[in-house]
A and B are shown apart, each in its own frame.
Chain A
Amino acid sequence: MRMSNQAPSDLSLIEPTLDAYADVPGSLIAILQATQDAYGYLPMDAMEHIAERTGTPIATIVGVATFYAQFRLEPVGKYLIMLCQGTACHVNGSELISAAITDELGIDDGQTTDDGLFSLKHVACLGCCSLSPVMMINGQTYSSLTPDKAKKVLRQLAAEAAEGGAA
Chain B
Amino acid sequence: MRLVVGEGSCGLAAGAGAVYQQLEELLAQGNEAGVELGITGCNGMCFLEPIVDLYDDEGALHRLVKVQAKDAKAIYEAATTGNLSLVDKLRISASDAEFLDRQTRIALRDCGVIDPESLDDYLAHGGYQAIGKILSQGMSQEDVIHEIDVAGLRGRGGAGFPTAFKWRAARDAKADETGQKYLICNADEGDPGAFMDRAVIEGDPHSLIEGMLVGGYAIGATEGIVYVRAEYPLAIVRLRKAIADATERGYLGQNILGSDFSFTLRIKAGAGAFVCGEETALIESLEGKRGMPRLKPPFPAQAGYWLKPSNINNVETYANVAWIINNGGAAYAAMGTEGSKGTKVFALSGKIARGGLVEIPMGTTLREVIFDIGGGIRGGKQFKAVQLGGPSGGCVPAEKLDTVIDYNELAATGAIMGSGGMVVMDEDTCMVGMARFFLDFTAKESCGKCVHCRLGTKRMLEILDRIVNGQGEEGDIEKLEELCYAIKDGALCGLGQTAPNPVLTTIRYFRDELEAHINEHRCPAGECRELITYFIDKDACVGCTSCARQCPAGAITGERKSPHEIDPALCIKCGNCKTACRFGAVRVR
Contact = CB atoms under 8 A, between A and B. Distances in A.
Q: Do A and B bind each other?
A: yes
Interface of A: 25-30, 32-33, 63-64, 67-71, 82, 84-92, 96, 99, 103, 123-132, 134, 139, 141-144, 146-147
Contacts of B576: 96, 147
B350 A127 contact: no
Contacts, number: 150
B456 interface: no
Nearest to A143: B13
Contacts of A69: 271-273
Interface string B349-373: 1111001100000000000000000
Contacts of B194: 125, 129
Contacts of B503: none
Contact of B9 (A84, A96, A141): A141
B475 interface: no
B574 A68 contact: no
Interface of B is mostly: mixed
A32 B270 CA distance: 12
Contacts of B575: 96, 99
B288 A27 contact: yes
- 4 closest A-B pairs by beta carbon, nearest first, are A130-B355, A86-B192, A69-B272, A87-B193
Given A87-B193, A87-B421, A141-B12, A130 B351 contact: no
A139 B230 CA distance: 12
Contacts of B272: 68-70, 123
Contacts of A142: 13
21 contacts: A25-B306, A30-B268, A33-B271, A70-B270, A70-B271, A87-B421, A87-B423, A88-B193, A92-B350, A124-B274, A126-B9, A127-B195, A127-B231, A129-B194, A130-B46, A130-B348, A130-B349, A131-B49, A132-B350, A139-B233, A141-B9
Interface in B438-462: 438, 441, 447
A130 B272 CA distance: 21
A29 B268 CA distance: 9
Contact of A26 (B270, B273, B287): B287
Contact of A141 (B13, B193, B421): B13
B299 interface: no
B392 to A, nearest CB: 12
B552 interface: yes
A123 to B, nearest CB: 6
Given A87-B349, A124-B192, 4 more contacts: A32-B271, A67-B273, A85-B192, A87-B421
A83 to B, nearest CB: 12
B390 A68 contact: no
B579 interface: yes
A69 B192 CA distance: 15
Given A87-B192, A91-B425, A99-B574, A28 B288 contact: yes
A67 B351 CA distance: 33
Interface of B: 9-10, 12-14, 46-47, 49, 189-195, 198, 229-233, 268-274, 285-291, 306, 347-352, 355-356, 387, 390, 421, 423-425, 429, 434, 437-438, 441, 447, 552, 574-576, 579
A88 B14 contact: no
Given A67-B273, A88-B423, A129 B355 contact: yes
Contacts of A87: 191-193, 349-350, 387, 390, 421, 423, 437-438
Nearest to A96: B575
Given A29-B271, A127-B195, A128-B13, A92 B437 contact: no
B231 A125 contact: yes
Contact of A132 (B285, B287, B349, B552): B349
Contacts of B429: 91
B574 A130 contact: no
Contacts of B198: 127
A163 B327 CA distance: 59
Nearest to B233: A139
B350 A128 contact: no
A129 B192 CA distance: 8
A127 B189 contact: yes
Contacts of A64: 288-290
Contacts of B230: 70
Nearest to A129: B349
A52 to B, nearest CB: 17
Contact of B14 (A25, A32, A92, A131): A131
Nearest to A134: B13
Given A96-B579, A130-B356, A125 B192 contact: yes
A92 B49 CA distance: 18
A164 to B, nearest CB: 21
Nearest to B347: A129
Nearest to B425: A91
Nearest to B288: A28
Contact of B271 (A71, A90, A134): A71
A123 B229 CA distance: 12
B241 to A, nearest CB: 17
Contacts of B351: 91-92
A128 B9 contact: yes
Contacts of A141: 9, 12-13
B391 to A, nearest CB: 8
A160 B273 CA distance: 33
B119 to A, nearest CB: 24
A84 B194 CA distance: 13
B271 A91 contact: no
Contacts of A143: 10, 13-14
A28 B289 contact: yes
A91 B289 contact: no
Among B9, B271, B274, B291, the one with the most A-chain Cβ atoms within 10 Å of its Cβ is B271
Contacts of A29: 268, 271, 285, 288
A128 B424 CA distance: 15
A130 B429 CA distance: 17
A40 to B, nearest CB: 16
B273 A130 contact: no
Contact of B10 (A63, A90, A128): A128
A126 B231 contact: yes
